[in-house]
Chain A
Amino acid sequence: MSKTRPAHAPHKLRYLTWGDNDLDSSTAMAFARSWTDSAHPLTETDSGAIILVKEVLTADKTLTLPSAKKGLYFKIVWGITDSAAFSRVIKTATAAETFRGTIVVIASQPDTDEGDFVTDQLNSHDEIQIVDDVIQGSWIDLVSDGDHWYIADSSILNNTDGFAAAVVLQDNS
């Protein structure tokens, strides 16, 4: 009879969580580093991680990306529906490093002006605010070419009726 043995070293994704807290270098001294610590400071060595949103916000919180370097990548995935009236802010390390691409918002209650799919371009923006009523299963995939960060893919599921209510883009904040 054959046996099914557990893999000695199963392939796993890098993984960390984003709770009701900021994720940036300023928290580095305040929190212990751990793969599953919700207060994990985000660094270059975290590249490749799935950043799983698992807590409802009680205030606006910011994730600051490490300085752009060719090949760095992150995927932010909402594991919960967050209807609290606060934003998750994703920003680059400096204003010179911008986001480029398009955030695709899929509204659960589409209106006649904007439809099911709402898109907007990012060129000079260094900050993306994902506002409330984000539905579980939403995600943003980011990759850097060493100068900027590109939206490799995205799907923000939103209970409201359009892009403006779901995503706010900021320039050189």
Chain B
Amino acid sequence: MARANKANTQSSRLKVITVGNDNRTLTLPESGATVIFTAAVATTAKTITLPAVTNVNGAAGAYFRFIWGVASDALHTIIQSSTSTELIKGSVLWLNPDGSAEAGTDVQADGSGHYILTVNDNIEPGTMVELVSDGSHWYVANSKVIATLTPAWS
């Protein structure tokens, strides 16, 4: 006889890391986190550094999701790998909220040298970027960059 469905007794929760007006270097044990930016950058650009993955046991499959929870009108946010040999590959979808006829634009990394993603201002809340690693590089798994200026790769 089939067992009756039972309600959960414990809630399922995501690993959430909140980041204010600070730079942040992420660690591998923090993989899987949804990183929410809860304060706008006030003075200088905010830099988020991903953990090293090359020749690191257990690094394949590491992933992070970044969510901008507040607007950053004057300063940009940088997401970079730990070293220039660990590339960030893929494209981000850029939605310009100021356009008279808004359209989506794919902004592509070159796949050979880019390891820094600069999300330029004005960044609107709701911007998000999701990254996953194969143990050598990082890949954009999902993105919506809602900002006035074009995001940039370097």
Contact = CB atoms under 8 A, between A and B. Distances in A.
Interface string B1-33: 000010111111111101000000000000000
Chain B CB within 10 Å, residue with most, of A44, A69, A119, A146: A119
A63 interface: no
A152 B13 contact: no
Nearest to B13: A71
Interface residues of B, number: 36
A100 B69 contact: yes
Contacts of B144: 102, 104, 153
Contacts of B146: 102, 104, 119
Interface of A: 14, 33-36, 44-48, 69-73, 100-104, 110, 112-119, 121-123, 143-146, 148, 150-154
B38 A117 contact: no
A46 B8 contact: yes
Contact of B125 (A36, A121, A145, A153): A121
Given A112-B100, A115-B99, A117-B103, 19 more contacts: A14-B8, A35-B5, A45-B8, A45-B9, A46-B8, A47-B13, A48-B12, A48-B14, A72-B14, A73-B34, A101-B125, A102-B97, A102-B125, A104-B126, A113-B101, A115-B102, A143-B36, A145-B69, A151-B126
Contacts of A116: 102-104
